[in-house]
Copies of this chain bind each other. A is one copy, B any other.
Amino acid sequence: MHQYIVNASIQILPVVQDRHPYEWVDEAIAIIQNAGIKYEIGPFATVVEGTYEEVMKVINAVNEHLFNRHCNEWITSIQLQIRSGGDITGDEKVEKFR
């Protein structure tokens, strides 16, 4: 895979009863916040930016965290937007509207 910037949205949907699902969501967001790549927290998902490798590393770190913390069950919903010949950033998609 290339080293261009890819753009991804990450949403965690816990399937649990022991804690309020949002508590797991907050833990997942904290992992993303500390991952060292650009992120924007939205109402439904957190959008991150980095190389493909960097983004997949963050996705794996979130799932690894939830596993190590014994979150009973969860769905990680991901959208990865990739351009084969160049960068694709969040700003490029929204700046004309902001």
Contact = CB atoms under 8 A, between A and B. Distances in A.
Contacts of A71: 84
Given A1-B63, A73-B82, A75-B81, A47 B56 contact: no
A54 to B, nearest CB: 14
Contacts of A29: 97
A53 B6 CA distance: 21
A62 to B, nearest CB: 10
B44 A73 contact: no
Contact of A42 (B83, B84, B94): B94
A48 B77 CA distance: 15
A31 B26 CA distance: 32
